Every structure is written in C-alpha cells, then in structure tokens.
A and B are shown apart, each in its own frame.
Chain A
Amino acid sequence: MSAAPTECLLRLYDEHHELEDYQKGVTRWCPGCGDNAILTAVQRLCRTENLDPVKTVFVSGIGCSSRLPHYMNTYGFHGIHGRALPIAEGVKMSRPELTVFVNMGDGDCCSIGAAHWVHAIRYNMDLTVMLHDNQIYGLTKKQASPTSPIGLKSNTTPKGAYLEALNPLTVSLGVTNVSFVAQVVDWIPEVLYDVLHAAFLHKGLSFVRILQRCPEWLPNMLDPWVQDPTRVKLLYHEDGIKVSPSVAKVYTTTEEHDPSNMNRAREIASEVDPVPVGILYRNDDVPCYEDLRRDPTLRTPQFVKGGLEAEFDKFTIWPEGEEH
C-alpha cells in the first residue's frame, strides 16, 4: 500500500453520486431556455467526476443564467452584477481544494464585468467559466447586450443596435495568459457536455462561451443555425474533442483543429457562419495565479491580528512620549 492511511480510507468509502444528488428545486427558466441544457450538462459533469457536493461551488453574477447555483445541490454564491469572477477567485484563493464553477450571462460578463473578465483570464486561476450568451438581457425584459447583433431591436435599441456585436472569443484569445477558450451551442448537448468536461479537466481558467437560445425574447434568432446543421462547424482533434457517430450523422461540417494552434484559433474565433463549435485554444503550461502566489504561512488568528495591527499602526497618531 503506497497511499497514506487516510487517503486509503477515503477511497475505500468513496461516495458515489447520482445525477439527483446535484439537483435542487424546480427551474424557473422559460421552457425552451438554453440554461436548462447547460444545467443538465453541468450536473452530468459533476456525476461523471463524482464531485463532492460540499466541495463544489457555483458562483454567478446577476441575470437569468445566474440563477444556476440555485438549482445545484452544492455550495453556491449568487453574487452581484458583473462580479462573479472576483468572488470566484477569492473562493479559489482561500480554498484551493474546492472545485469552482462560474456562470455568467453576456451582459454580466461582457459589459459590467468586462474588466474582471479580462483580468481573470490573465490571472488564469483554476476555474471553469461558462458564458451563457443569449445575446440579450432577458431577466430585465429585452435590452441589448454587448453581444447583441447589429440591427437587433430591443427596448434600449428600438431602431436597432448600432454597433457590431462584441466577440467574446476574440477578446479572450487576445488576453495575455489565456489558457483555454471554447465555444459550444446549447442545442448539441453531447458536444456541450464534452467541451465542459474538457474545460473542467483543464488546469487554469477555462472560458466556454455557450451560444444559447432565449425563447422568450429572441425566439427565432438562432433558428437558422438550429435548423440547418450544416451551419454548425464542429472542431475536432485528438487533443480536443472527438465527435461521436450520432453527432457526425447530423453535423457534417467539420474541421480538424489543433487547440495548441493560436493563430488558427484566432481565425476560427472570428468566424460567425458556420458557427464554430469545439475547443479553439488550450495551453496547459500557463501558470495559475493561485500557485504563483501560494503562501505556506498559516492564517492563524495571531498572524492575521499581527498583520492588521501592523497596518493600523502606520496610521496611528501616538500620544506624545508614548513608544510605539
């Protein structure tokens, strides 16, 4: 026996979790909402990896997608708008043994949270980040988001959006230290699951943009891609994802893409039609911030108190004659 006794005992009585162990409550998303598909894929991923629910955390911001932690029977943090990533980074920094997922909407991540998004990619902490991109603010009833296509009429753009949509993939791939970027669509559940699984296994920040339908506010916007499988391009590679026969039967537009090829990844990221689906870029050698900054010093109450006192002392006005 080579493992330590405690490790042996843990493995000997390792609990196996079913899908139901990760489910909680009834979703309040609209029927047909892509969030349901993402939730299912994530629950399957947790079951496959047998993640301990009490050591798994889902952090979200604000929006329809950010309700996801409510439906996971794990720890969760329904945060504030745009701040899911800093919260998740804080959790990971102080409790590196926890598995941390982040769920954000396109407004949450690409608008108010854009600064955090860019720096989170640069920090490359070990997080699995899902961008639920339905290209609209849904919870607040249809306002244009940064990823809304040009010309989209919404409550804030009644004459149509004036700007070209922001491309989360090209932005992510332009950030220093980027280590994992992928794109999936909610209507191919098998690929959605495979990509999320690969993202989970990647050490570092894995950024997955999920194009999802909003049946309430943009019911037909993605129909051309949903209904015509040839307008979806599957990226496959032996170091990326592999395509099953059943998926290959429907989705015949494919490209073999090596995820280590950054130049090609950036070209693919700019493609809109057919929409690329798969892992665009992966680099396992980028260091994680929490590893670079890991301090072996225990945060004992005395240590914390000493640090605080030292800081306070810098601003203390000492009575005359009193030593400090």
Chain B
Amino acid sequence: MDSKDQALIAFSLTGKRTAAHVEPIKDQGLKPALFARYRNLSELRYDYPVVLLPTGYESLSKRVDRAIEVGATGGDPARVRKHAYQIEKGVRRLLASGQKGSLSKLWATAASQVKAKAEEGFDDSAKRVGQALRPDGELLDCSPDVARTLFSHAWSVAQDKKAAAYRDRAERLLLRLKDILKADLVSSVAGRTPENLAQGFGSSQTDMFDFAAMSNLLVRTTPETTLSESRRKRIEWLVSVLEYQRFFQSDRASGAAPYSFEFETCHKALKAYQERAAEAIELAKALAMAELEAYGDYRESVHDALFAGYGARGLDAQDLKVFPDYYVFERADRLDGNETEAVLQALASGVPIKVIVQVDDLWDPTSLGDGMLGLSSKTRRLAHSAMSLGDVFVFQSPASHLVATEPALSKGMSSTNGGLFLVYSGTGGVTEGVPPYLVAAAAAESRAFPVFSYDPTEGSELADRFDVAANPQADSGWPAHTVSFEGPNMQRLEEPGAFTLVDFAAMDGRLSDHFSTVPTDSGCLAPVPEFLDKTFAVVPDSVPSIPMVDEQNRFVRVIADDWVIRETKRCQGWWRNLQEWGGISNSYADRAIKAERQHWEAKLAEAKQSATPSASAAPAAVVESAPEPVAAEAAPAAVVEEKPSDDPYIETERCTTCNECTLLNNQMFGYNENKQAYIKDPDAGTFRQLVEAAEGCQVGIIHPGKPRNPKEPGLEELIERAKPFA
C-alpha cells in the first residue's frame, strides 16, 4: 500500500487528515453527484407545486396533463400541449419568485407573460386548458411549511366529509322527528283550536270561514290515539340534542360556538376530549335513539333500559366515527418526555386523534454531549411505540413524497382509528443551496427517513398492514444509480453506484469534518455498499467513497470516516427491519422455504435410492367410469305411493284455505299453523259430514276413510259416495 492510500485509510479510521491530498470539504459547496441535474427545480416538472382541492390535493403537473387531455379534444392537440407546458413553466417560475395565489390566478398571470412570445392559437390553448383545470385551488410549492399546510388540508377534507355526513343524517332525523310531533299536534285538541286552524289556513280570505265552528266540529273527531307523554318528551329531547350540539357547525346553534378540534399539544387535546366526553355520549345516544324513534322502532320496554347505560364504558369506534377527529401538529424538537408520553397516551386510549410530528433535522446531539451529532432515533422510537399499540394508523414520509403518498395519507386522515403522522421537512440542517424538496427526497433515497404506512384496518396480518412500497427501489438495500461525468480526455464516463446515508450526511455542513476530498485516481476507493459488505482482518484495504460535484458541477471524489460508516450501518439495520415488516426478503419466510426445500430434496433423494421397478410404481389406473349423474335439485322427485287409510285424512299441503270444510264443521276440521285444513277431531262430527266435505272440496283433498260409528244411519249410501275419495 502506497503512502497516498495510507493517508486515505488513516482518515477513514480516525477522521484526521495526515496528507495534503486529503482535503477538507468545508465551504466547497459540494453536493451529491446525483443532484447535478436538479439545480433549478422551477425548470423541472415534478411533484410540486401542488393544488389544494376540495377533495384533497394533486400535483400541478398531473393536473395539467389531465387538463391537456380534455382541452386537446377541441383539436390541434400538439399545439395545446406545447402552450400548456409553457404556461405551466411560467406558473412554477412565479411561485419560485415568491408569488402566491390560486391556480386560476397564477395560470392567467403566467399566460399573460408568456403570451408576448407565443404563437398563433396561444389564447385558445390557454383558455381550453385553463377551463379544464377546474375546480380551482390554492397553489403550494415545497416550502418549509408545506407539510403543515398539506396535513391540515387533508384533515380538513376528512372533517368536512364527516360534518356533511352528520348534517345529512341529523337533518333527515330531525325532519322525521318533527313530523311526528307536528302530526300529533295537528290531530290533537290543542292543534284544532280556532287560532291554530286559522293559522294553518293562510293569510288571506280568513273572514270567509268560521274557525270556531270548524274547531268545534273537528275537536269532536279527534283521534283517540295520540303520542304518549313519555314519547313526546323523548322526541323533544332528541330534537333538542341534535339541534344544539356543538361538535358540528349548525344553523340552529344556541349561541355557543362550535368546538374547535385543532390543538397545539396532545395534553390540551386530551383535556378537551375529557371535558366534552359527556356531551359526546349524549349526542351518540341521541343519534342511535333517533334512528329507532324516527322509523317507529323504539320500544320503551326494551330500549329504555339499554339507553339508560349508553356510553357508560366510553364510546366505541362505531360511535366515535361520527365525531370530528382531534388534530395536533407538533414539532419533533419540542417533543419533551411529557409531551411524548401525552402523544402515546392519546393514541393508546382510543381518542379519535390525528397527531402530526414534523421533523426538521434528522441529526441530533449524541448522548456524549461533546457536540457530536447522530442520526436521530426520536421518530423511530415514536413510530415503534405507536405501531405496538396495534390499532393506530402510523404514517411516515418526507415532505417530498407527500404527493405520491396522498392516497395513504388521506386514508389515514379518514380512518376511524387514531393516527400518528411523521414528516420530515428537509429544512433543519445546514444544506446551503439545496432546496428543502431535494433534502427531503434525499432522506427517503438514503433510507435516513424511509416512507412507510401501518394501517390496522387493512387486515389482521403485518404483511397486509405494513407497506414500504412507496420507497425508491424498495426491494433493494440502497437505491442504485449511475452517475455520468466527463473523463480526463473529455470522454463520457459512467459509474454505477448507490445513494446511501453517506451521501445524505455529506450534504450537511455540520458534518463536513467527517468527509474529505481526495484525488479522483486514488487506488483504494470503494463504493459505499461494497465497503459495507467487506470484512477486514486487521487493516482495511479500501475507504468508502462517494461521487460529489462542486458549484461548477465538476466531479469530485469524497471519502467518509468511520463515524459516518457506523451511522450508515445503523440506518441500514433499521431499513432492513422495515423491509422485513413490509414482506421484502422476510427472513422467517426465507428460512421456512429453505427448510422445506431441504426436506423435499431429502425425501426426493430417499425415494430415488429406494426406487425399484414394481407394481406400486406403475401409474394409477385411470378411472374410466364417469361419476353417477346427480339429479338436478330443482327437478321433481319421485314419491313412493301411499296406501289408502281407514282413518279420514286431508292432504293438508294442497289445501287452498277455501273455508268449505271449516264452515261445515269447525270442530272436525281445523286449520294448522299455515292456515291449511286438517282433521282436528274425526269424532267431532258424522261420517256424512266427512263425505259432504270431500264432495264439496274443490281440490279433492279430503278422504273420508271408513265410518267410525257403525250405527250411523244411511251408511251404505255414504260408503258408496265416499268411494271416489278413497
């Protein structure tokens, strides 16, 4: 090993620079080589900016693409697309210059600015696509506050849906309940007074009627059945609770403002939840009772006792899903022990709460207290604890991925379960010149802040609940990338590599002491993934290196010290856990498959060894006979013929309930539970009646049998008449 390489390895092991060719990277403005193509985001089409919509949010690019599809149906699609993209770029530039506003406003502004340089048909393109961009919404770039706004918006959308559902339900119930009260009043004596009758008539020509006489007449015909006092009181109470609740905005509010559900801390949210619990139970009870009452299903004998204890042990998820969710936005750096405990307590106690924790900095001071930083484990611990509760929705994503993960985020916000949402803003480190979007995206790319969701409503197994698919190249340890750069002889060179935590750490100015630039032709450099896989007996023969670019986009080799590698290994371990939970290269499954394969191979080998030609090895005889045809269930089945009986009988199943026989003798003939005739008591009448009934039966199903009383007069003739009904 030459002395140049020795200096590199020494830096790698100790972080000390012992030679001039191992230079500090501080103040060189280096960035990961992968970022070389993304210096000016406003010129690129990517997830941001986003449009806030009444139903959620969507990236501007996606919205414009869809609008182009619609707008292009009017003809000349190539021209429409070209102009629309020009305007879209203008919108991005406006946002980047600090302008704010709705999509329609910025679209119009951008169109007016591009117009001067535009071609024929530009106005038409702008108008057609602009109209197809509706509904309108506020535009939002990936600013430091973007996560706060997006989460708040997604929560508001979910709460608006709940409020609309409540209003629909309450209005429907109130209409029915009030109709019951109104109908009762109208048909009561009180409702038929001359004054009430006059009021019901209207305002004109009332002098043509004598309402006193009308009242006198109508009062006499008042129905006997009116609402019981207890039912009237119950309905009035239900109306009162539904109208004057404070959980949703209402036109009929008693003057008290509706409750707010946004809180700064979980402590405050929990306190409010506890204070409102009695009212929430009352409203949930009223809704359940009103559903029964409005449709005439409330029975005092049964339901009074049940509703007396309603909510005594708290409300269940079905009840709680009606109510608005509590919303808390926290910043990770302000989460002390007490507040962390409050977060977990709120999530564990079944409170319908959505807690958003924004992380601005992924590097925390270590416990050594010497100014050293380490990859933060605060959110990891929080996510672990929340997932261990079992029924809490847990979501993590950097701000850069909030557009791609919108479906999961919205689902979590609409979930009836509690929810913990962790988001990394990309604004907390010292990453001069790199926009927060790229820092946040790099956190996901490097596995420093992976994307995942844990949805307890997705099934009973972890494989169904846990999802890491939204990560870049989720199947891999590190996302693979190829960096292209210019070689010493101006030739194009390509270098495959991966984006790891080393790249992410190298972006942060506070960690620059852990990195050094080295000559690009150094001999002992190894890509980080390769270095991590190596084991060294004593002295390493290589150092981990990453490609970076300087402010002029020149290619630079950077090596990292041992501290960075240790942090990277920790990060790798955490990511490996997440992969396994998400069902990627699950070690338990791999072991089971391996064991099964070994078992199967052993059996196969055993069978081969013991295999000798014999009758048992011959192929099984083919069953030639077809299975017996199964009679169609619907087809009529054969019936064994019954012998005639000496006792009278009726083919009851064929009785048409015509009343002929029962009118003849209702002691002898009766109806069964299906109102079909049978011989109730053969001795309750005469043989003559049996014969007459048989003769009168239009479907001929009465069989008189033999006479039971040999002394009955006229038996000979009756027996003859009975013969056709034997």
Contact = CB atoms under 8 A, between A and B. Distances in A.
Interface of A: 1, 3-6, 9-10, 13, 18-19, 27, 31-34, 36-37, 39-40, 43-44, 54-55, 97, 186-190, 213, 215, 226-227, 234, 236-238, 240-252, 254, 256, 296, 298-300
Contacts of A247: 636, 653
Contacts of A189: 653-657, 676
A242 B634 contact: yes
B297 interface: yes
Interface stretch (B299-307, B618-626, B706-714): B299-307
B183 interface: no
Contacts of B171: 298, 300
Contact of A97 (B295, B653, B657): B295
Contacts of B658: 31-34, 36-37, 215
Given A43-B675, A213-B698, A256 B657 contact: no
Q: Which of B172, B319, B698 has the most CB of A within 10 A?
A: B698
B699 A226 contact: yes
B654 A19 contact: no
Chain B interface bracket (under 10, 10 to 19, 20 to 34, 35 or more): 35 or more
Given A31-B663, A254-B636, A188 B172 contact: no
18 contacts: A3-B318, A4-B318, A6-B292, A31-B658, A36-B658, A44-B675, A187-B654, A226-B699, A227-B700, A236-B634, A236-B636, A238-B633, A243-B635, A244-B653, A245-B636, A254-B636, A298-B172, A298-B175
A319 to B, nearest CB: 15
A37 B697 CA distance: 13
A44 B636 contact: no
A19 B673 contact: yes
Nearest to B659: A31
Given A31-B663, A213-B698, A226-B699, A186 B636 contact: no
A36 B697 CA distance: 14
Contacts of A9: 288, 292, 303, 306
A27 B674 contact: no
Given A27-B659, A300-B171, A40 B675 contact: yes
B539 interface: no
Interface string B621-656: 000000000001111111100000000000101111
Main secondary structure of the interface of B (DSSP, over half): loop
Nearest to A299: B175
Contacts of A246: 639, 651, 653-654
A252 B287 CA distance: 57
B656 A248 contact: no
A29 to B, nearest CB: 8
Contacts of B297: 10
Given A31-B663, A97-B295, A238-B632, A5 B318 contact: yes
Interface of B: 168, 171-172, 175, 287-288, 291-292, 295-297, 299, 302-303, 306, 316, 318-319, 632-639, 651, 653-660, 663, 673-676, 696, 698-700
B720 to A, nearest CB: 20
A98 to B, nearest CB: 10
Contacts of A37: 656-658
Contacts of B168: 296
A308 B388 CA distance: 60
Contacts of B172: 298
Contact of A238 (B634, B651, B676): B634
A19 B675 contact: yes
Contacts of A227: 700
B689 to A, nearest CB: 15
Contacts of B175: 298-300
Contact of B657 (A39, A188, A296): A39
Nearest to A241: B634
Nearest to B642: A249
Closest 5 CB pairs of A and B: A248-B636, A37-B656, A40-B657, A249-B639, A243-B636
Given A55-B296, A189-B656, A248-B637, 9 more contacts: A1-B318, A5-B288, A6-B287, A10-B292, A31-B659, A32-B696, A36-B657, A37-B656, A246-B651
Contacts of B638: 245, 248
